[in-house]
Amino acid sequence: MPTLNRRFRGTCIDYTHDGKGVFKIDQLPVFVENILVGEEADILITNHRGKYAEGRVENRHTTSPQRETPPCPFYEACGGCQIQHLSYTEQLKMKKSRVAEVLRRMGDYNGKVMDVIPSEIPFQYRNKVQFPFGKNDKGELITGLYRKGTHQIIDIDQCLIEQADTDQIVQAVKSFCIENHLEPYDQKYKKGFLRHVMVRKATATGEVMVVLVTGKVNFPQKHAFVDFLQKQIPQIKTIIQNINPEFTDVVLGYREHILFGPGFIEDMLGGLRFKIAAKSFYQVNPVQTEKLYQKALELANIQATDLVLDAYSGVGTMTLLAAQRAKHVTGVEIVKDAVLNAIENAKANQIRNVSFIEADAAPYMIERTSKGKQYDVVIVDPPRQGCSVEFLNALKIMKPKRFVYVSCEPSSLARDIKILSDLYEVKVVQPVDMFSQTYHVETVASLSLK
């Protein structure tokens, strides 16, 4: 049995879900960062956690042709990206393998997984950045990303997966805060002011939103802040102060003050225009989002006579795109503000064959079924934890002919398709690379009633 500080020489045979290399010693898996399949190395065991161990590379003897030199100077320390040292070809291979393995092991699915739909821009693709504020050892204000596995902030002036101009806007906000002696907020003692800066950019329209998240309401410099940003960022459309005094890792609080503009920006997706508020869910990779949603709608095989239900509909992105193909689409969403945004988006795009319901999808579906109402297709794009058991049971009661599941977490997708496996058959599993340089992978699965 491996012991701490034991050294061994071996060859990496696989990847973990988060991009670490896998070695075997005495049949025990050892997970190691910054190593590629096929590379031989001397490994030092640093942690032993029962069913697996962790280690680090002390000396690499061979180098895979798929190894890349990470272009980001913060890569080794930062936790934002995990697989910049893999070639893009190897990243896609790893993600496909991860989806297939998780679905096999947790979902009892042994069918085909399609090749991952690649990204045209594997760097500088994110249209949203949110950085926390803090201080360095010299007491100077910094903002950036957290050091891997910690809450220690790395002062970052450029993140290579964020769009370049959003980085520049963050630096402008930081310079204003330094000049005006604004202090980071201390959750424990409720002192200070600054918590996060969030920037969202609409790729198609160029409109920019800046959100300053503060621990307190009082912001004496707010007018100077607005004037400064308007001069620095001509394309800025709205500036918001979000107030979050809670002891939490959640970035945005419940209260917000609009300091400038309408409180939202607008973007184009699939030929439609969408209003995006500070709290709106909107995919961060606009180019890949078009591919993701078009693939989902293609797999849904929506006919002109179909009635479609979009559960977890958010601001209505998928709902309105589906409405271009269906007889009628109903979007169900539990968040009131998202429903209001969705209704506005439908009006702005002059789409009338939709309706939006503020409700929990599961009881709504059960009620509709009890009244003899039916949908031909149900589409879901749930949060990372997947669909609730109540929703899946309601789906079984309703029994739509086709079910399309957009997932950002393969393990919850696997769990949910296993729950549905007595009534539904998986037809297609299509991964999409939405988050290049990270281990995250989006997947579209289409299921049909048996």
Write out the catalytic residue numbers.
408
Tokens of 387: 């669909």
For residue 262, give both structure tokens: 């309408």
Distance CA(102)–CA(415), nearest Å, equals: 9
* Helices assigned H by DSSP within 159-310: 164-179, 222-232, 286-300
CB distance 57 to 68 below 8 Å: no
Distance CA 23, CA 31 (A): 7
Residue type, 385: Q
As a whole number of angstroms, the distance between CA 50 and CA 243 comes to: 43
CB-CB neighbours of 423 under 10 Å:
14
Position 120, amino acid: E
Contact of 289 with 435, CB cutoff 8 Å: no
Do 396 and 378 form a contact (C-beta atoms < 8 A)? no
Query: Tokens representing 61?
Result: 């003897």
Q: Which of 282, 247, 263, 296 is nearest to 403 (CA)?
A: 296
What is the helix (H) or strand (E) element at residue 79, kind and residue range? none
Single-letter amino acid code for the residue at 412: S
User: For residues 119 and 433, is the Cβ–Cβ distance under 8 A?
Assistant: yes
Rounded Cα gap, residues 292 and 426, in angstroms: 18
Tokens of 293: 């949603």
Torsion angles phi and psi, residue 247, rounded to 5: -85, 90
3-state secondary structure of 162: strand
Name the β-bridge partners of 56: 44
Sorted by sequence, the CB contacts under 8 Å of residue 121 that are 6+ apart come out as 287, 436
β pairing state of 208-214 and 194-201: antiparallel
Residue with tokens 């729950």: 419
